Amino acid sequence: MIRSLLKFLLGKMLRLVVLLAAISILSFMMVKMAPIDPVQAYVGADLLKVSEAQREQIAAYWGLDQPPLAQFLTWGSAVLKGNLGTSMTFRQPVTDVIAERFLSSLALMVSAWALSGLIGFAAGAAAAMNRNTWVDRMIHWYCYTLAATPAFWLGLLLIMVFSVWLGWFPLGLGVPAGMAADQVTLGDRIYHMFLPALVLSVTGIATIALHTRQKLAEVLDSDYIIFARARGERGFGLFWRHGLRNIALPALTLQFASFSELFGGAVLAEQVFAYPGLGQATVQAGLRGDVPLLLGIVLFSTCFVFAGNMIADLLYTIIDPRIRSRDGGDPLEAG
């Protein structure tokens, strides 16, 4: 068991390394083709104060006067040592920016992820248990409408209703304005995180709900459910004893496989609420031409998505006893 797990992890790591290498080469090549002059992006508003000689100094300082291949080699070897360079907008090492920003994004993403999973799962289960009734149709209608809603627009609506009209929640930002970092309590953070997390959760609900409905509907058509019904079981008891276990794992797996959408949704939600997370940093990097940060985030988000997919794979092979017992009991050989 342990050996096959190690083998599985080793294989995955190898794939990740190849993937990251390919992505760094591709994105570095593309970034070099961008029409935006990095020196210009760095100088920004001080355009008139910077002389030609200073520009050359800046270019030499960042290594921008080298040919692209030499630049890539310099960057690539630094990345291998764990140094992603310095962010031009934040004037900090990229790794620091990503670590700091990701921590605050992580809180947002985890709560939204859990929320969307729970709501979606409950809605999907309710729809399947009440198949072809008005409950089912309502949930369906709701899911499709939710899936067609631009998440950032929903964020704007929530701000208008809850922050501007009712005044229940702050207008944005991760912490109260004008407060020193050590005075901010956990309550403040949660209070500021509530609306963004709600918006972010919306992106995942429809997928998980419709998937769960489909799976549970299949389960409900099975012989053992018909037998259970014949014995007189019904309603929530039937779902609890015979349905839940069969659909919980696929739903959880799907939820882990949705890290890509989660990250994308976080970018939008953070932008709407001015929440200081990694998503907002991504947008700033794109807008200001902060190449090192942008490349760092591309690599980091790739790892993030990869981790989610890997957990999904692991869940499939480890938890489900039926998969474990297949082929004489070594689940991970196939993975």
Partner 1 sequence: MKPDNLAMPDTASGGKWLNRRQRAVIAAIASAMVLFAVLGFGLALPGSGLDARLEIRNQPPSLSHLFGTDWLGRDMLTRTLKGLTLSIFVGLAAAASSVLIAAIMGLAAAMGGRYMDHIIGWITDLFLSVPHLVTLILISFILGGGVKGVLIGIAVTHWPAMARMIRAELLQLRETDYVRLSSRLGRSRWWIATRHLLPHLLPHLLTGMLLIFPHAILHEASITFLGLGLSPHQPAIGIILSESMRYLSTGLWWLAFFPGAALLLIVRSFDRVSEYIRLLIHPASAQE
Element (H, E) at 87: strand 86-87
Reading the block at residue 204, the tokens are: 């995942």
d(CA 94, CA 266): 19
Q: For residue 153, state whether it binds partner 1 (rule: CB under 8 A).
A: yes
Cβ-based nearer residue to partner 1, 165 or 232: 165
Cβ-based nearer residue to partner 1, 228 or 291: 291
Please, how many CA atoms are within 13 Å of residue 277, restricted to the half-sphere of its CB?
31
Element (H, E) at 232: none
Of 145-153, 229-237, 312-320, 322-330, which segment contacts partner 1 by CB under 8 A?
145-153
Size of site (CB under 8 A) for partner 1: 60
Of 29-37, 45-53, 63-71, 241-249, which segment contacts partner 1 by CB under 8 A?
29-37
Cβ-based nearer residue to partner 1, 302 or 317: 302
d(CA 251, CA 35): 44
CB of residue 160 to partner 1, shortest distance in Å: 5
Q: Is 5 exposed, middle or buried (0-12, 13-18, 19+ CB in 10 A)?
A: middle
Whole-Å CA distances, 148 to 38, 135, 204, 270, 281: 37, 20, 12, 20, 26
Subset of 161-200 contacting partner 1 (CB under 8 A):
163-164, 171
CB of residue 96 to partner 1, shortest distance in Å: 20
Residue with token string 């997370």: 277
CB of residue 237 to partner 1, shortest distance in Å: 25
Is 85 within 8 Å of 93 (Cβ atoms)?
A: yes
Residue with token string 């289960």: 125
Subset of 212-251 contacting partner 1 (CB under 8 A):
213-214
The one-letter amino acid at 291: V
Q: For residue 301, state whether it binds partner 1 (rule: CB under 8 A).
A: yes
CB of residue 1 to partner 1, shortest distance in Å: 28
Query: Helix 94-129 and helix 278-288: axis angle, to 10°?
Result: 120
The 257-296 contact track toward partner 1, x by CB under 8 A, reads: --xxx-xx--xx--xx---------xx-xxx-x----x--
Residue with token string 């489900």: 320
- Where on the chain is the footprint of partner 1 (CB under 8 A)? 19, 22-23, 26-27, 30-31, 33-36, 132, 137, 140, 143-145, 147-153, 156-157, 159-160, 163-164, 171, 206-207, 210-211, 213-214, 259-261, 263-264, 267-268, 271-272, 282-283, 285-287, 289, 294, 297-298, 301-302, 304-306
